[in-house]
A and B are shown apart, each in its own frame.
Chain A
Amino acid sequence: MTLQEKVGVLVRYCSQYQSHGFMMDERNTDRHFNVQLLEEKYIRDNIEKLKVIILTGEAGDGKSRIMWNLRSLLQQKGFAQPCEDFSALQEREKEEWIARLKGVLEGESSEKLIVLANVGVFTQAILKFSLDFMEELTRKREDVYICNFENRNLAGNKELFENIVKEFLDYEDPCANTECPCYGTCVYRQNIEKLLSASGIRAMRILCDSVYLTGGHITFRELLSLLAYTVTFGQDCEERRSRPDSGERMLYYHIFEESQDILLRKISWMDPGLERGGDEGAPDREAYRNGLRRAFFDAEQDSYGMLHVEYLKEFRQVLEHIHEPPYNFDTATDQNPLLLQLKKGINKMSSQGKKDTGLTVMDTPAIFDKKIRMEYLVTQDISMIWHRYDLQIGGEMPRKDVFWNKFYLSYLYEEKSGQKELISLLIDYHQFCFLMRCSYDFFMNRNGMSQEKYAVNAYYRKILSVKENAYDTVKVCFDDELGEFSDFYLTIHSTTDAFTGDVTQNVLIRKGD
């Protein structure tokens, strides 16, 4: 394939191009471009023990491609006719499929099943049919493989990502059209060369990884579309020749330009051109911005910090720390500076910025505003851990090749039965930013209840509810500017009559610190 032909193929992957629908056809007809995904490899390696395979995700995640690649193997291993689109089934058929799956999981059926589904539709059907079945499905079993592509990070595996970019963009012959006015200065060639270079692949991988880290998702089809757009900007050679002056604007680093396109917006908000640290001598703002964008693509090492994404670099560093054995870290003894900072943020948030140590939980009923608060003290020796998202008490060790974009802060306690339980606060990118901002004394509107603050409060209230006598002492705090009223403590005090053994209780009041 020549460069010109390659551009002709690539441009059809761009959503901006008129025949965007081609991509759907391309999935089914273009069998030349094929990269074995990790999920496919896993199924091939474990096919002997698998009885149920469920692939869920959004359109474009690559489910059908995997199915197409595995079809003959599945037939050979005795799998029933697959359910290739669960979403398209009638309600009754959905129920039948879930019953079949349930039968296999409960050992009542010897069928082998594979289901391809949209995760939302599939979850809805399961929840409608049986809640217990959801628990059963999410319990790890050797004979069940559930892959939710929504949680997959294509940029997570360096080798795979490199493979996809090279397979997708590589072409055999240079352009032979010497008549083309762009011959010798062709932006397509420059863009492909850049994207195939080590720094180019790294930059694209970091971009996709950042989407994942910040809670987004890029499907396989979107990745191809993004690569295609970075090379062609939605224009084929003919269109390009009609606008010879627009060459500079079609260089790869302009991928960050503002756009209405849903996919491009996943990238453009991270524009490194909005950061500081560019060339002060740049002639104008655009040159300054382009310099920063180019620098991102030319960076010699991981350049998360160059993106215009608050605390992204720090978030990744914390995740890297937590994804190393032993996968759980005591909050009191772990010395990771970022986790210490995060802890400071939690303390400041929960104690209204007045203290740096100890955990005070505000449990002011929602009926009231926060002008008079009720605070309860959780003692400092409380045992809490930072840990990996997939770490469970008594569960198996987490998989090394999975890198989650979230982690937990958990309180470990023992129930009366002796069973250990966790109360957990999920820390994803947004929660992380919120707590970091708290730690650095950013202005926070403490009257409003943001989702993040709500989560932290709910977490601490749950801890309070399992701690004995936690509600026996309350500090009543006034938020009045004039300082008219003093804070005070109320504490339940019990007295036992030495002679009768009767217990009486009253409340002691004393002035606050």
Chain B
Amino acid sequence: MNSDSPVVFVVDDDFRVREALSSLISSAGLRVAVFGSAAEFLDYEKPDAPACLVLDLQLPGTSGLELQQQLVGGDAPPIVFISGHGDIPSSVRAMKAGAIEFLSKPFDDRELLQAIDSAIDRDRIERQKRSELAELQRHYNLLTPREREVLPFVVAGFANKQTGADLGTSEITIGVHRGQIMRKMAAKSLAELVRMADKLGISRAAGTA
């Protein structure tokens, strides 16, 4: 298994469940790492690979739902919740917070493995997205402050002349900036640059003209 092969994290306070899940998941050819509590999981140095978190709802200390809250927004792997007794309010909260699946113990292996697979797939996609964005960001970081000022006007479809007027410079200077932007961002067309700007979350300039 190379470092890119997916890994499944299991957090459950019950060692019997940890043992069983470890065996079951590894039988599906996946790497497994098990943890007895949220804290143990958080301390762990995660490998750079698509992953999935199988998380018990009831945990001593930080509960499953609390851990989910802490992980939101980070690059944490998607979560498959498992619970000793699946009460409806908990499952609703978990799903709203982005859980892949909410399984009541005992659960079917296919359900679990399917949930793990989709979680890993999603993670793989997320990871892809994240790496693309990171690439764009790297390109974006190459832009000078003046070029970053110009970019919103370019992606908003303003002509160089109008942009020059708005920014108080000449049409020719704007043209030079645009060329630099296209080159630094490795954009082959204006349309591609527009999509890049969207991904980077750069809003288009409203312009005065």
Q: Do A and B come from one complex?
A: no
Contacts from A to B (Cβ < 8 Å): none
Contacts from B to A (Cβ < 8 Å): none
